[in-house]
Amino acid sequence: MNKAIGVSPGIAIGRAYVLTSSEQHIPERTMRDADLTEELDRVVAGIHQSRSELESIRSDIRELIGEEEAGIFNAHLAILEDPIFLNEVREIMKLRSIGAEQAVQQATDKFANMFELLDDDYMRERADDIRDVGNRLLKHLLGDTGVLLPEMPADEPYILVSKEVTPSGFVNLGPHNLLGIVTAMGGKTSHTAIMARAMGIPMVSGLDTRLQRTIQSGDLLIVDGDAGLIWVNPDGGLVEEYQHRIEKLEEERHSLQEIISYPPVTQDGRRLEILANISSLSELDRSIEEGVPGVGLFRTEFLFMDRSSVPGEEEQYEIYREAVEKHRGNPLVFRALDIGGDKAISYIALPEEENPSLGLRAVRILLTRKDLFRIQLRAILRAGAHGPIRLLLPMVGSLEELREAKAVIQDVKQELQDEGIAHDPAIPVGMMIEVPAAAMLADLFAREVDFFSIGTNDLVQYVLAVDRMNEAVAALYEPYHPAVLRLIRSTTQAAQQAGIPVGVCGELAGDPFALPIWLGLGVHEISMSVQSCLPVKKALIGCSAERCEAALLAALGCSTAAEVREQLSLAWEEA
Ligand code: PEP
Ligand code: MG
């Protein structure tokens, strides 16, 4: 058994197909200065061909999977058309008197290596994108019209094993017959992982390259995307065990469909709204299909990723309006752009930071880049003319910040009013409670906003001083820490005293075990990834609010996370 990181959940059992990285033969040619122009023309022609190919892949993916995933190819187009790349190729050819193919390969290696050295998972994963674009261009220069990857097994389903799988390599493979993916490189934020999740293909990354090399094509594999495990040539007993697990998972998923129409109410009649967290319109479609009655958090920053420029007001307005129309009056909370930290946007220049989670993030950026904030506000407010929506401000830490952001909102409303443009002048404005200072001053903030949404992901990180992205301190990232619990309680109390609703949108909301906290504290709504909505609803309708209240009261008196968990577990014991 090999342990790695599960980046797309589910279990796959099947034969390995091992992909050695595309071994293309690059001709070594010596060039004369007189050939330079002609050779450069070939590169430019290759760029044109690659562009049309990428554009057609992008439109296929848009139709097949969704807008967010199609956006990956905007990033590829941006790399392809970056003049710095072409310049580098020209310089290499001139300096080393070599042919276009070798020069393209060397320029690709240079830029990809630069990204690989960066101390940021997201940026490191962009190296895959650069190599992918370089390979595509090489394919055209070499006159190879086939796919970049060797032939896949024609009819037999397989598990792909490769050092890395680039997003367009993934597209070239096609989801047909692809049971699972195992890679050495890549992480949860890699685009390939995003696409694998979107298509329900289990994937495990981070497998030691030495181990990966020991896997042969034809080996039987079990890929456990939940636990991040890979079994090579497992014995029959284990295969049977995993087959049972697959059947059980399918049965569970199927049986959950029954509760779609049930109200989200406990056995003793307490209601708790269960909403979705989404980051694209395709996820919204999926949440509607799953019968989720609203969106508690639309992470709008994902609409800004994998493109080469800021989406304009009209483009944003169209997306937000479509979401409002699809939602037909159900709750819909748009969070203003929450970038910075781990969420970098290539075309929005942000300073290099030693400590990005404590740096220029979220509302701090919105207030320094009011141009971006105002465009987004105009688009959201205009979408509000088509149905009820709410606006959520990320990472507010002081009243000054809140007041400044509200002043901008007021000003933009006035501007729309003066221009006679339809919008929602009474949009409820809420704030994330994810900075400890905001939780501590929740009573003061509650007088100045229309609702709170507790972001436990960041709240835990900041209260416990534990980087949520750093695997070395992952064991210290403890959402059930009594300090976290106290801040959640003081926030909900402040909201109740001020008479404003309070929701929870961090990952903790998707953990059914945490339900006694929300029921015990009187939270109005919780929101989570779409896949978690039905399992959490199932737990909710099976529990008693009264028992949850008692368990929470006991948990609030605890001094360690282990004790908190023990007390909360009592809520689940049979009466
Ligand atoms: C949170 O911090 O809990 C949250 C929901 O926001 P994000 O995960 O996008 O930072
Ligand atoms: Mg957050």
Q: Picking from 75-79, 177-181, 509-513, which range would have the lowest pLDDT averaged per residue?
A: 75-79
Q: At what angle do helices 545-556 and 482-498 cross, to 10 degrees?
A: 120
- Tell which one of 505, 511, 523 to mutate to probe ligand 1, the residue whose CB is within 8 A of the most ligand atoms: 505
pLDDT band at 1 (very low <50, low <70, confident <90, very high): confident
C-alpha to C-alpha distance for 296 and 127, rounded to whole angstroms: 34
Residue 236 lies in a domain: no
Ligand nearest to the backbone CA of 302: 1
398 plus 540 within the same structural domain: yes
Classify each residue of 347-374 as buried b or exposed e, where b means 16 or more C-beta atoms within 10 Å of its C-beta. eeebeeeeebbeeebbbbbbeebbebbb
- Tell which one of 279, 335, 434, 469 to mutate to probe ligand 1, the residue whose CB is within 8 A of the most ligand atoms: 434
pLDDT band at 58 (very low <50, low <70, confident <90, very high): confident
Ligand nearest to the backbone CA of 333: 1
Question: In degrees rounded to 5, what are phi and psi of residue 314?
Answer: -65, -45
Q: Which protein residue has the closest C-alpha to ligand 1 atom 3?
A: 455
262 plus 137 within the same structural domain: no
Atom of ligand 1 nearest to the CA of 507: 3
- Compare 2 and 342 and report the one with higher pLDDT: 2
Mean pLDDT of 260-274: 96
Helix, strand, coil percentages for the chain (3-state, nearest 5):
55, 15, 30
Alpha carbon of 279 to ligand 1 centroid (Å): 12
Alpha carbon of 357 to ligand 1 centroid (Å): 12
- What DSSP assignment string belongs to 86-146? HHHHHHHHHHHTB-HHHHHHHHHHHHHHHHHTSS-HHHHHHHHHHHHHHHHHHHHHTT--S
Number of domains observed in the structure of the chain: 2
Is 434 near ligand 1, meaning CB less than 6 Å away?
yes
Last residue of a domain, one of 141, 165, 189: 141
Q: Which of 191, 327, 481, 524 is catalytic?
A: 191
Percent of the chain clearing pLDDT 90 (strictly above): 53
Per-residue model confidence as pLDDT tens digits over 285-339? 989 998 999 999 999 988 887 677 899 999 999 999 999 999 889 999 999 999 8
C-alpha to C-alpha distance for 390 and 332, rounded to whole angstroms: 6
Is 506 near ligand 1, meaning CB less than 6 Å away?
yes
Residue 192 lies in a domain: no
Q: Which protein residue has the closest C-alpha to ligand 1 atom 7?
A: 457
Whichever domain contains 407, its CATH number is 3.20.20.60
Q: Which protein residue has the closest C-alpha to ligand 1 atom 9?
A: 299
Is 338 near ligand 1, meaning CB less than 6 Å away?
yes
Question: In degrees rounded to 5, what are phi and psi of residue 337?
Answer: -40, 115
Q: Which protein residue has the closest C-alpha to ligand 1 atom 1?
A: 455
Whichever domain contains 37, its CATH number is 1.10.274.10
Q: Which of 327, 423, 505, 548 is catalytic?
A: 505
- What DSSP assignment string belongs to 407-449? HHHHHHHHHHHHTT----TT--EEEEE-SHHHHHTHHHHHTT-
> Domain of 77?
25-141
Alpha carbon of 188 to ligand 1 centroid (Å): 16
Residue 118 lies in a domain: yes
Residue 160 lies in a domain: no
Residue 148 lies in a domain: no
Residue 219 lies in a domain: no
pLDDT of residue 23: 45
Q: What is the pTM of this model?
A: 0.70
Last residue of a domain, one of 141, 174, 197: 141
pLDDT band at 365 (very low <50, low <70, confident <90, very high): very high
For the cut 90, the answer to whether the pLDDT of residue 234 exceeds it is yes
Residue 5 lies in a domain: no
Alpha carbon of 457 to ligand 2 centroid (Å): 6
Q: How does the average pLDDT of the chain come out, rounded? A: 88
Q: How many CB atoms lie within 10 A of CB 235?
A: 10
Determine whether 548 is an active site residue. no
pLDDT of residue 146: 33
Alpha carbon of 79 to ligand 1 centroid (Å): 29
For the cut 80, the answer to whether the pLDDT of residue 547 exceeds it is yes
Residue 243 lies in a domain: no
Exposed/middle/buried for residue 95 (C-beta within 10 Å: 0-12, 13-18, 19+): exposed
Q: Do 102 and 34 contact (CB within 8 A), yes or no?
A: no
Classify each residue of 37-70 as buried b or exposed e, where b means 16 or more C-beta atoms within 10 Å of its C-beta. eebbeebeebbeebbebbeebbeebbeebbbbbb
Q: Which protein residue has the closest C-alpha to ligand 1 atom 6?
A: 455
Determine whether 48 is an active site residue. no
Q: Do 305 and 167 contact (CB within 8 A), yes or no?
A: no
Alpha carbon of 361 to ligand 1 centroid (Å): 12
Would you state the structure tokens that stand for residue 92, as one six-digit string?
């290499």
Is 162 near ligand 1, meaning CB less than 6 Å away?
no
Q: How many CB atoms lie within 10 A of CB 92?
A: 19
Last residue of a domain, one of 96, 113, 141: 141
Q: How many CB atoms lie within 10 A of CB 33?
A: 9
